[in-house]
Structures are given as structure tokens and as C-alpha cells.
Amino acid sequence: MSHVTDDDREPLETIPGRPPVVDAATWQAARDELLDREKAHTREGDAIAAARRRLPMVEIDGDTPVTGPDGPVPFRELFAGREELLVYKHMWHDGAPHQGQCEGCTITAWNTRETVYLAARGISFAILTTGAWDEVERFVHFMGYPQPWYSVRGLPEPIGGDMGHLCSFLRVGERVFLTYSMTGRGTEFMAYELAMMDLTPYGRREGWQEVPEGWPAPIESGAPIGGHGFPISVFWRTDADGVPTWGPTGRPVPQWTRPGATPVTTTGRHDDCCSGPEA
């Protein structure tokens, strides 16, 4: 171990596969340097949000029927009297058991169970999916989801169509407008644990990450998805022992907290619904 001055910033100690050990002053200098980049990132995010608010919008038919627990209702009713509405479009696998439904969408829905602050700010929230309502209702009951869910089976964009999107709508009187839509990694902020993992030295331990030479390797997790060597998040699905696996014995992680969630031997589906990371 070598003790040095702050001027040359040599590490006090080197632990293989770990960040260098330095004194507090050296750490603070490096932290301040990164903070400048983080502040620039935040300001750019604010500028992008301002541009997002100024996007044009397109009118849609607010009378389009979507199916919920009370049967078909006009899409306009999802606003619940408010002016703004966010919807998450949950992927669906027809006929699959609960463990066979989309891992990523399950994590997203699990992390948006409480939206009281959105409501306090005049924004309603709902989840849409293409599943038949009788299947969807059983899944929602099993998961214990409190959010309003609706089937948009057979409906075109932007209410139906492709799933895995977060969409924003605006109501002006009886008129309804689509104002914004995002998908891919654009929706990952809804699974806030991913951002929390990004604060740690090892990050998400996913195959797409930049990893310094000699550091702990990404966690392997079964078959590749979407042409990538690893799923977009290796821990979206685990077996009963908490081992990350995308094999037939796994469930989306939140399901292991649900009453009656027992070990399984099949996902009950034959396709991959989640692709690798995209910008």
C-alpha cells in the first residue's frame, strides 16, 4: 500500500475487480467532476421535457370502447374527470398462465401500483392490454393490482396496437388527443429499481453494460433474447430460490410475493416478448 498526495491522485490501495481506494479529498474531487456531468444531464433532461410539452397532438375518438370490470366503456372515461391521462400498454400472451406473462411489463405494472401523486396533480393512470378481459381479470386479481386495467383487444393505435408503450393523452372538453408515446428503454424509469442499481458500483450486472476489465462479469441468465447475449434485465424472472433464470421454472419476480405462487415447470408460452436494450 502506498500513501501519496492528492496532486497525483494515485490510489492508496487497489482491490482487484473493485474501484480504487483513495482518500476522502481525492474521492470528493472525482465526485465533484462527475457532478458537473450529472447536472448537465439533468438540465438537458429539462430541456427535452420542455420540447416534449410542445409537441403537436393528434385527435382520437374518445368514444372508442375499451373493456374493464364493468364491461365496455368509452376511452374518455379513463380520464376519471381529469384533463390528463397516462396509460401503460402491457404486453400479453393469449392463453398463457400467470407466470407466462411479460416479465418487463410485470415489473413496470408492479412499480406503478401507487399513483396517488399523479391524481393529486390532475393526471389519471390506467393500464391497457390486448388480452381477452376474462384472462386479464384473473391476472389482475392474482397480482393484486389496484390500478384500473382495460382490454383493448382488436383496437388500432394509439389505444390498441403495439404494447410496451407509455402514452400521454389530453382531454379538452369531450375531445381527446394523443400527445406523446415512448417505448423500449424510454419506459424503464417506471421500474425505478433499475435507476437505483445504476448508482451502485456493479450497476445492473447485465450483458450490455460497459464493465471494466477484471470486474465481476454480468450475471448469466439462460437463453439470449432479441439477438442479445442477455435479457434486458436478468432479474426480471427468477426461480423459486431467487436464481435469475429465463427457463421454464421461473416467474416474473413480483409473482413470488403473491399468495398461491408456487414453483412451476413451464412458462406456458413459446415466444420471447422482450428484446434487448435499445436507446
CATH classification at residue 129: 3.40.30.10
Q: Is residue 108 part of a domain?
A: yes
In terms of residues, how long is the chain?
Answer: 279
Q: Is residue 82 part of a domain?
A: yes
Q: Is residue 205 part of a domain?
A: no
- Checking if the pLDDT of 273 tops 70, the result is no
Q: Is residue 46 part of a domain?
A: no
Q: Is residue 98 part of a domain?
A: yes
Three cell numbers at 215?
470486474
What residue numbers bound the domain in which 180 lies?
A: 57-186
Q: Is residue 213 part of a domain?
A: no
Contact 191, 166 (CB under 8 A): no
**Rounded Cα gap, residues 177 and 169, in angstroms:** 5
Which of 115-129, 156-170, 196-210, 212-226 bottoms out in mean pLDDT, i.e. has the lowest? 212-226
**pLDDT one-digit tens code per residue, 142-185:** 999 999 999 999 999 999 999 999 999 999 999 999 999 999 88
**Rounded Cα gap, residues 126 and 178, in angstroms:** 15
Q: Is residue 36 part of a domain?
A: no
Task: Sort 130 into a burial class: Cβ within 10 Å, 0-12 / 13-18 / 19+.
Answer: buried
Q: Is residue 40 part of a domain?
A: no
Structural domains in the chain (count): 1
Radius of gyration (C-alpha) of the chain in whole angstroms: 22
Contact 75, 157 (CB under 8 A): no
pTM of the entire predicted model: 0.87
- At 230, the pLDDT band (50, 70, 90 cuts) reads low
Helices 133-143 and 103-110 cross at an angle (nearest 10°) of 60
Three cell numbers at 157?
393505435
